[in-house]
């Protein structure tokens, strides 16, 4: 997971891509998305270090290589010329990883917790020739009703939506995947996102999965390919999305 996460984050350094602002009613995480208008390249210099630290084999809060990586991340953060709101978000990610500040979504009185991933993904040519799609990913810690049939306690649901696309094909080859790591139990895994839940059956294409993460702080990376088809007479469109990362608590 370390190698994939580091490689994934390296490919996200696209200065022309901006972060999207989340819908306030949907997002209740104490680690918010980056504000609108901030380009990916600033964050890309820090994310590989903190995800690399999370993917290490040892307790991230214990003395050792992972602690050194987080210290390096803090140093990088202190020298970057970033808006205060961005620095606040990145500081929350670091404290989430080292366990010093809690972190993860706050539990609302009603409705599911929705942890939006940090930045939107871009899929080249996913809508058609020369028409790119913006993909958004989110996680829903259980117990919750979404995505259907809904994750139970100790599980998390993942949802990826490619805006502007048609319905997904029944078979996704190659698939969209979520790679996850529980920081507190060191459990990890990879799962394919599928159309089994039939969310938005007429589009935009929405894929989901429910995985047994166990309780604890979870880091996840969603990336891969999406295949859509407007109707049986149309040719399928397969495209790849840049990775995006999420941090939340189950």
Q: pLDDT (tens digit, 9 = 90+) per residue, 33-56?
A: 555 555 545 554 555 655 665 555
Question: Residue 57 corresponds to which tokens in the numbers above?
Answer: 């084999």
pLDDT tens track for 103-160 = 444 444 555 678 888 778 888 889 988 888 988 899 999 998 888 899 999 999 999 9
Instruction: Provide mean pLDDT across the span 169-174.
Output: 90
Which residue did the predictor score with more confidence, 236 or 49? 236
Paired tokens of 122: 């871009």
Q: What is the pLDDT of residue 129?
A: 80
pLDDT beyond 90 at 176: yes
- Other beta carbons less than 10 A from residue 24's beta carbon: 8
176, two tokens: 């969209």
**Residue 125 or 87, more confident:** 125
Statement: residue 213 has pLDDT above 70: yes
CA distance 14 to 164: 21
Length of the chain: 250
159 in Cβ contact with 226 (< 8 Å): no
Angle at alpha carbon of residue 54, lines to 192 and 118, rounded to 5°: 65
Burial (CB < 10 A; 0-12, 13-18, 19+), residue 55, is buried
Map out the domains of the chain with their CATH numbers: 2-98 (no CATH), 115-249 (2.60.40)
Chain centroid offset of residue 153 CA: 20
C-alpha 111/C-alpha 155 separation (Å) is 17
C-alpha to C-alpha distance for 246 and 220, rounded to whole angstroms: 5
Give the pLDDT band (50/70/90) at residue 230: confident
Helices (runs of H) and strands (runs of E) counted in the chain: 5, 9
CA distances from 91 to 74, 88, 102 (A): 8, 5, 12
Lowest mean pLDDT, pick from 29-33, 142-146, 216-220, 227-231: 29-33
- For residue 214, what are the CA distances in angstroms to 126, 137, 182, 189? 34, 20, 7, 11
* Residue 27 binned pLDDT confidence (cut-offs 50, 70, 90): very low
**Is the pLDDT reported for residue 198 higher than 50?**
yes
pTM of the entire structure?
0.70
């Amino acid at each position: 997971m370390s190698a994939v996460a580091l490689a994934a984050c390296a490919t996200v350094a696209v200065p022309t891509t901006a972060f999207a602002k989340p819908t306030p009613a949907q997002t209740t995480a104490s680690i918010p998305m980056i504000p609108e208008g901030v380009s990916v390249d600033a964050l890309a210099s820090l994310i590989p270090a903190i995800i690399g630290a999370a993917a290490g084999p040892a307790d991230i809060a214990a003395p050792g290589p992972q602690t050194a990586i987080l210290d390096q991340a803090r140093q990088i953060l202190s020298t970057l010329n970033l808006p205060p709101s961005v620095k606040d978000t990145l500081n929350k990610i670091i404290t989430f990883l080292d366990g010093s500040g809690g972190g993860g979504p706050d539990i609302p009185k009603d409705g599911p917790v929705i942890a939006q991933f940090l930045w939107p993904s871009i899929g080249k040519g996913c809508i058609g020739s020369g028409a790119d799609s913006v993909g958004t990913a989110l996680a829903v810690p259980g117990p919750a009703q979404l995505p259907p049939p809904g994750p139970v306690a100790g599980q998390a649901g993942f949802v990826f939506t490619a805006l502007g696309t048609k319905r997904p094909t029944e078979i996704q080859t190659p698939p969209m995947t979520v790679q996850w790591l529980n920081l507190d139990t060191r459990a990890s895994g990879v799962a394919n996102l599928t159309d089994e839940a039939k969310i938005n059956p007429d589009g935009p294409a929405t894929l989901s999965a429910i995985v047994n993460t166990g309780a604890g702080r979870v880091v996840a990376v969603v990336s891969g390919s999406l295949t859509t088809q407007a109707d049986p007479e149309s040719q399928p469109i397969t495209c790849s999305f840049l990775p995006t990362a999420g941090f939340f608590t189950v």
